[in-house]
Amino acid sequence: MQDYTQLEVWQKAHELTLALYELTRALPVEETYELSAQIRRGAAAVPSAIAQACGWDSPEQTTYYLQVAAGAVAETQYRVLLARDLSYIDEDAFRAADSRLGEVQRLLTRFIGRVAENTATESRDSAERRGSDEPDYDD
């Protein structure tokens, strides 16, 4: 298990969540329980899933929760786009949010790749250790 608060991807995801909470304050009151709440839930799901991923010793579970986080980013990107297209937020606010979302998505993609790479290396090392412990029956 690792301290998720030390991960750049979690820190950026947390900052994103705070920024999107602020952004949703500009949405109309009638969207409080709809689009605003959906953007907030989606944004908060990202650092939450990263934290959950760090709580597992299993690379498969870690990867699963990181992929959940990546899915939450994509979902939130759409909802921010929708807010712009409904003229609830202006183009500058959209670009700022979309840029942050893209950055978190890129960091997640790299992190998922590192977990997969480490898993492959550990599997290969484990197989090599098993192979060296086996007796040589060819003699």
Q: Which domain holds residue 31?
A: 4-123
DSSP designation for 58: -
pLDDT of 31: 94
pLDDT of 12: 98
Band the pLDDT of 123: cuts 50, 70, 90. low
136 occurs within a structural domain:
no
CATH of the domain at 35: 1.20.1440.60
133 occurs within a structural domain:
no
Task: Determine the Cα–Cα distance for residues 53 and 107; give it in Å rounded to an integer.
Answer: 14
What pTM was estimated for this model as a whole?
0.84
132 occurs within a structural domain:
no
131 occurs within a structural domain:
no
73 occurs within a structural domain:
yes
95 occurs within a structural domain:
yes
Task: Determine the Cα–Cα distance for residues 31 and 107; give it in Å rounded to an integer.
Answer: 30
Characterise 87 by phi-psi region: left (phi > 0), alpha (psi -120 to 50), beta (else): left
pLDDT of 135: 47
Q: How many domains does the chain have?
A: 1
Per the structure block, which two tokens stand in for 96? 């700022």
Is the model more confident about 118 or about 67?
A: 67
128 occurs within a structural domain:
no
Task: Pick the range with the lowest mean pLDDT from 37-46, 74-83, 124-133.
Answer: 124-133
The whole-number average pLDDT for the span 45-63 is 94
Per the structure block, which two tokens stand in for 109? 């993609």
